[in-house]
Amino acid sequence: MSVMSKPVFASDFGTSYYKYGPWWIMKTGPDMIENRGYFPKISKVSAEIRGVKVREVVVGPEVSEFLESRADLSRLYYPMRNGIIERGDDKGWKVVKELVRYGLLKYHPGSTDTTGVPFHGFFVVASLAAQAPTYMYERLFEIHREINEEEGNLVRAVTIIPQPLAVAIAERAVTCVVIEAGHGNTQVTPISRDVIKAALIPLNRGGSDSDRIAAQILKDLGYSDLAREEKFVRIFKESVGLLPLNIEKSIEWTKDHPSALQSVFKIPGTTVEVDMGDKVWQRFLIGEYFFNPGHEIFESYYVRGFTPPKDTLVGGEVIPGDVSLAEAVKRAISKTPVELQSSIAKNIILSGGGFNWSVPKGLEGIAADSPTKMKFMMRELGLDTQPKMVSDPQFSVWRGAIVYGMAIGEGIKWDWRKMEGWLYLS
């Protein structure tokens, strides 16, 4: 397939997954690998005997081939737990560099594309958390330049876009609130043509917090060893977790109908069976915790040492880590100009894997999907809204980044004041 005049390649640096690929896979969606790296401990002698190439960092599917025991899990490194990599986090930046290299090499067509047209490098659109500091932009530009020097000119130019803005572009929304729920953070982002940065509320919680409460539930059920394996916990969460419409009523209903919910689970892809017994009502805690970790039902966990999500400092204001998602949205809207508030509140867009909840047959009105839950919570705060889920929650950022890259003219150079345009590398 011809890469046309401007071969756009999008990279979405999610807190859990790295999604990447060129514009020509727009219909099928991007490739996706875990946003992590493995730092193997293999001696040069051992590597030569086993025919293994010595590498400082391994990314992608090969990571699983290097894991030999649970002890190896300590050498796994997840650089974007909350969407931010610290300036001095050398390990984190090494992982990001290898992820970028991995994606670009997979799709790079060589000196010419498949039709014989000369290829001079991708136009890369990288998407980062809205609260990413300037040094992350600088380092990401640097990484693409380094890879060009090491691999040849894979990249012609790079630009960077905040993830919520990419979602708004994908949804063709001009004035809205985008709630982008990743694995490690959630960005509550009012937008009016561009991100209203003064109203942005980044929360230090996401899908990983549902994982944490799921791990605690596993421990309480007697599966402590399994609770230490992040990947297993995530599979358990996705297999078992439910989002309640109203947590008190959902628990009461479950206790009144003890056989209505499945309580024994054979975890897909494993040899493990988990029996929740009379604690099956805890399935609802997994979903509720992301939406409202400040609910009194979680007090018993905090008393035992389970830590709530960390607070966020926004413009000198402390946003409690356990604030309900609805309250965070209300606060963000209140920070926008009054004349914008009504139109912004009417268009609440949910995106990201943290919102990927469904309602099993027979649980209508007891369990909820994310838009219904948000509508219910916002109504309790006196705001009548109709939140909507993007059609493709996991890949909406990536698709928006592709559209953004296609729309930016090649003659628009990167402007640090506006934080837009192309930074040319070759």
Are residue 120 and residue 249 in the same domain, yes or no? Answer: no
Are residue 60 and residue 107 in the same domain, yes or no? Answer: no
Are residue 292 and residue 369 in the same domain, yes or no? Answer: yes
Backbone φ and ψ for 178, nearest 5 degrees, come out as: -95, 125
Residue 302 counted as domain residue: yes
Are residue 158 and residue 254 in the same domain, yes or no? Answer: no
Are residue 242 and residue 283 in the same domain, yes or no? Answer: yes
Q: What is the dihedral of CA 388, 391, 393, 396, to 10 degrees?
A: -110
Contact yes or no for 177/329 (Cβ under 8 A): yes
Tell me how many helices (H) and strands (E) the chain has.
Answer: 15, 18
Tokens found for residue 61? 């599917």
Q: What string of pLDDT tens digits covers the 426 residues of the chain? A: 444 568 999 999 988 889 999 999 988 989 999 888 888 876 555 555 556 566 788 888 887 766 654 555 667 888 887 788 999 999 999 999 999 999 999 998 875 555 556 788 999 999 998 888 999 999 999 999 999 999 988 999 999 999 999 999 999 999 999 999 987 789 999 999 889 989 999 998 888 899 999 999 999 999 998 888 888 898 899 989 999 999 999 999 999 998 888 888 887 777 888 999 999 999 999 999 999 999 999 999 999 999 999 998 887 889 999 999 999 999 999 999 999 999 999 999 999 888 989 999 989 999 999 999 999 999 999 998 999 999 888 889 999 999 999 999 999 999 999 999 999 997
Are residue 59 and residue 146 in the same domain, yes or no? Answer: no
Residue 56's Cβ-side half-sphere holds a number of Cα atoms within 13 Å equal to: 9
Residue 254 counted as domain residue: yes
Instruction: For 313-357, write each residue's pLDDT tens digit.
Output: 887 889 999 999 999 999 999 999 999 999 999 999 999 888 989
Which CATH number fits the domain that encloses residue 157? 3.30.420.40
Residue 171 counted as domain residue: no
Q: Which of 56, 77, 98 is the last residue of a domain?
A: 77
Are residue 274 and residue 297 in the same domain, yes or no? Answer: yes
Domain count, the chain: 3
Tokens found for residue 112? 């010419």
Are residue 208 and residue 285 in the same domain, yes or no? Answer: yes
User: Could you tell me which residues are beta bridge partners of residue 265?
Assistant: 274
Residue 159 counted as domain residue: yes
Backbone φ and ψ for 416, nearest 5 degrees, come out as: -70, -25
CA distance 210 to 359: 17
Residue 184 counted as domain residue: no
Q: Which of 77, 98, 132 is the last residue of a domain?
A: 77
Residue 191 counted as domain residue: no
CA distance 218 to 73: 19
Are residue 353 and residue 247 in the same domain, yes or no? Answer: yes
Quick one: pLDDT at residue 184? 77
Residue 188 counted as domain residue: no
Which CATH number fits the domain that encloses residue 310? 3.30.420.570
Residue reference for tokens 């937008």: 191
CA distance 56 to 44: 12
Are residue 158 and residue 287 in the same domain, yes or no? Answer: no
User: Could you tell me which residues are beta bridge partners of residue 275?
Assistant: 264
Task: List, as own/partner pairs, every contact residues 39-42 make where C-beta atoms lie below 8 angstroms and the sequence separation is at least 24, other chains included.
Answer: 39/75, 39/77, 39/91, 40/66, 40/75, 41/75
> pTM of this prediction?
0.83
Q: Which of 49, 77, 105 is the last residue of a domain?
A: 77
Residue 192 counted as domain residue: no
Contact yes or no for 125/26 (Cβ under 8 A): no
Are residue 91 and residue 31 in the same domain, yes or no? Answer: yes
Are residue 420 and residue 322 in the same domain, yes or no? Answer: no
The range of the structural domain enclosing residue 69 comes to 38-77
